[in-house]
Each structure stands twice: as C-alpha cells, then as structure tokens.
Structure 1
Amino acid sequence: MIRHLVLFKLNEGVSKDEPRVAAGARGFAELGAKVPGVLSWETGWNLTDRPVAYDFAINSSVADQAALTAYLEHPEHQAAVAPWQEFATWVVADYEI
C-alpha cells in the first residue's frame, strides 16, 4: 500500500478565506470519492501557526504504484489540482505503508 501525502503552502498574501481557495479546498475534500482506487482520503487545514507549517494537507492511500499513477492521471485529479497552481505551492511524499 502507498501513502500519498501532500502539503500545500498558500502564496504570500493569499488567505484561506478567499473564494478561490475555499473552492479549491472543497474540490480536494470531494476528490477521494471521485477517483477509483483511492482507499483512504483525508484533507484539512493546518491548526497551528508555526513558521515551518504548511497550510493545507491531503493524506490518502492507494494499493500500489499503478493505482497511484491512475490517481495522478485521472481527469478529476487534474481538475482539482489546476486551481491550486494559481495560489499555492506544495510538496509531496509517496511512501509504502
């Protein structure tokens, strides 16, 4: 099984209360149920205010590398990621569990 962990940092001057950011978060909250092969799906806003903290997280799992590739290439995933390119940067870790 593979854990797919993504941490998002909003760009300078961008607030999570902006309509485009709120819509992006909703899009990710709904994404796990839309893509076949996703075994677990959690999203949420960071609760701490530390300088090293990221703002938003996705914590999900898939069965194997083929399922991860299918998820990443899925049109629903591509549509959910696209708006975030305008207002955030992110880091990803994919590891076996």
Structure 2
Amino acid sequence: MILHLALFTWTGDVTADDVTGLTADLHAMADQLDSIEQYACGPNLGITPSTADFVVAAAVRDEDGLRAYLTHPLHQAVQERWLTRMTAARSAAQLPMPFTVVRDAR
C-alpha cells in the first residue's frame, strides 16, 4: 500500500463555501474510485505552524493504483472545478504502508 499526501495553500480569495464544496466533491470522487482503499481530506487542523491550508490523504494499493487515481477523469474534474483557481501552492509525497511501528500502543 502507498499513502499519497497532498498539501495545498490557498489563494487569498478562497471562501469557506469553496472549501466545503471541494471537500464534498473529493469525498464523492473517492467513493467512486476502486483504486482508493482509504481516503481523508479537509482543512489543516493548524496544531503546529504550517503553510498548508488543506490536506488530502489517499491510500492506494500500489503505484498503478496511484496513477489510476491521479489520472482518473473524476480526479481531473475536481482539479479543474476547484483546485486550479484555489491553489497558490501544492506539495505532494508518498509513503509506504503499513507504517513501521516504533512502539506499541499503550
């Protein structure tokens, strides 16, 4: 499994309604894509300082699943409808899953 993370910094004119609409469309998209095993997205909680306003986390089976997700017409439609005009900066990274356990949960 691969965890794909995308962090977005918004332009100055993004509204709460924009974020709500984007979030709804991303969840609807994720529900329709077989390549996605787990999915979460939403505004950055802001617990620590960050330039990211919004985060997407998508767990996919493998590299082919990641490519299928990123190139899928539904994903591209969300990008065109929302992200093109909302995004000032974007950063993405991928991590292998499952994660290495550094200590047992207590």
TM range (shorter): 0.7 to 0.9
Corresponding residue of 2:23: 25
After superposing on structure 2, the runs of 4+ consecutive aligned residues of structure 1 that deviate more than 2 Å are 19-22, 49-53
Task: Give unmatched runs, 5+ long, in structure 1.
Answer: none
Q: 2:4·2:58 contact (CA, 8 Å) conserved in 1?
A: yes
Taking structure 1 as the reference length, the TM-score comes to 0.84
Residue by residue over 1:11-66, the C-alpha shift from the partner in whole angstroms, topping out at 9 and shown as x without a partner, is 1x22441x334322221122211111100001111122765231111111111001
Corresponding residue of 2:61: 63
C-alpha RMSD over aligned residues: 1.8
Q: Distance in 2 between matches of 1:65 and 1:49?
A: 31
Q: Distance in 2 between matches of 1:74 and 1:55?
A: 24
Which AA in structure 1 matches 2:58? S
Q: Distance in 2 between matches of 1:49 and 1:2?
A: 25
Q: 2:9·2:54 contact (CA, 8 Å) conserved in 1?
A: yes
Aligned residues: 95
Task: Give unmatched runs, 5+ long, in structure 2.
Answer: 98-106
Q: 1:44·1:57 contact (CA, 8 Å) conserved in 2?
A: yes
Taking structure 2 as the reference length, the TM-score comes to 0.78
Of stretches 84-93 and 23-32 in structure 1, the one that deviates more from structure 2 is 23-32
- Greater CA radius of gyration, 1 or 2? 2
Q: 1:21·1:87 contact (CA, 8 Å) conserved in 2?
A: no
Which AA in structure 2 matches 1:91? S
